[in-house]
């Protein structure tokens, strides 16, 4: 059998008066004119359909239908009296999974999108450097903290978010930093202030801290501090 015959024979039962698109009807007509095998197949299929149609089911007769109706009536009455009719199912009942799932999915997607678009959003990804530098301040005893405060005022800034009660002067220090200075202060300097200060000489450190305290109008210091404290 050619591939064309196999393709067209799927439509044969519908040819010529069946539910057939015009395109296939035209193709079938052209094909049947020149293909004897498909013509034979069509004749055979038509014979089969006629055989089914000419072999009707036995009609059981009027008595059968009288009995049938009587039995059905009794069964239906019994079912109705027993209250077997199932209650109507609400249209909304089948839609509950969608009604619950769609908003939940939307909320999840929104949360993920916001998290990706704004990675500095508090709660999603705390800055690792801050966490690292803040850890000793939490575990250290108050006496040690006081010593650290007197020794390195800048350390207070890093320790401030984790130990707000011990802030004292450091809070004032940050306020001073917020209220003074004209130049923008590099943000990365604040991320690890200890390491920045450790690499400086005493003079450099003093100059650096002085410069820091002079940044009155610069908001970056405060912004970073706010991010650190909220984390």
Partner 1 sequence: MTDAQLVAQAQNGDLPAFEELVKKYQREIYGLACRMVSDPEEAKDLAQQAFMQAFIHIRSFRQDAQFRTWLFRIAINQCYNFLKNRKKFGDPVNCDEVVLVGEGDSPEEELVTQDERRRVYAALEKLPPKQQAVLTLKVEQGLSYQEISEVLGGTPGAARVNYCQALKTLKKNMKSEEEDEVAMRTSPAVATRVPRG
Residue numbers at the binding site for partner 1 (CB under 8 A): 9-14, 19, 44-45, 47-49, 51-60, 64-65, 68-69, 71-73, 75-77, 79-80, 84-89, 91
- Comparing CB distances to partner 1, the nearer of 50 and 169 is 50
Closest CA to 177 of 196, 190, 191: 190
Which residues are bridge partners to 216 per DSSP? 181
Which residues are bridge partners to 181 per DSSP? 216
Quick check: 37 and 5 in contact, CB under 8 A?
yes
Tell me how far, at minimum, the Cβ of 29 lies from partner 1, in Å.
18
Here the tokens at position 51 are 């055989």
- Comparing CB distances to partner 1, the nearer of 44 and 131 is 44
- Comparing CB distances to partner 1, the nearer of 58 and 128 is 58
106 vs 99, 103, 114, CA distance in Å?
Answer: 11, 5, 12
Q: Residue for token digits 């050619």?
A: 2
Tell me how far, at minimum, the Cβ of 102 lies from partner 1, in Å.
22
Sequence-ordered alpha helix ranges (H) in 82-201: 96-117, 128-139, 142-151, 153-159, 169-179, 187-191, 193-198
- Comparing CB distances to partner 1, the nearer of 84 and 201 is 84
Closest CA to 125 of 18, 227, 226: 227
Tell me how far, at minimum, the Cβ of 230 lies from partner 1, in Å.
54
Rounded distance between C-alpha atoms, residue 139 and residue 43, angstroms: 95
Tell me how far, at minimum, the Cβ of 87 lies from partner 1, in Å.
6
Tell me how far, at minimum, the Cβ of 108 lies from partner 1, in Å.
32
Closest CA to 205 of 214, 217, 196: 196
- Comparing CB distances to partner 1, the nearer of 9 and 152 is 9
- Comparing CB distances to partner 1, the nearer of 80 and 109 is 80
Tell me how far, at minimum, the Cβ of 20 lies from partner 1, in Å.
10
């Amino acid at each position: 059998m050619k591939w064309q015959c196999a393709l067209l024979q799927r439509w044969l039962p519908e040819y010529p008066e069946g539910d057939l698109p015009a395109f296939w009807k035209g193709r079938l007509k052209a094909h049947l004119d020149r293909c004897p095998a498909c013509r034979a197949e069509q004749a055979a299929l038509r014979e089969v359909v006629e055989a089914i149609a000419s072999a009707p089911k036995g009609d059981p007769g009027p008595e059968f239908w009288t009995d049938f109706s009587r039995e059905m009536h009794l069964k239906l009455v019994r079912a109705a009296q027993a209250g077997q009719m199932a209650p109507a199912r609400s249209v909304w009942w089948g839609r509950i999974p969608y009604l619950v799932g769609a908003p939940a999915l939307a909320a999840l997607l929104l949360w993920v999108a916001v998290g990706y678009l704004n990675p500095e959003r508090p709660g999603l990804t705390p800055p690792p450097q801050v966490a690292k530098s803040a850890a000793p301040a939490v575990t250290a005893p108050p006496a040690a903290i006081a010593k650290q405060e007197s020794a390195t005022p800048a350390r207070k800034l890093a320790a401030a978010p984790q130990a707000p009660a011990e802030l004292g002067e450091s809070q004032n220090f940050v306020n001073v930093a917020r209220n003074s200075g004209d130049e923008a202060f590099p943000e990365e300097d604040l991320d690890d202030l200890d390491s920045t200060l450790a690499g400086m000489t005493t003079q450099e450190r003093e100059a650096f801290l002085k410069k820091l305290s002079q940044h009155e109008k610069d908001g970056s210091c405060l912004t970073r501090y706010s991010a650190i404290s909220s984390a």
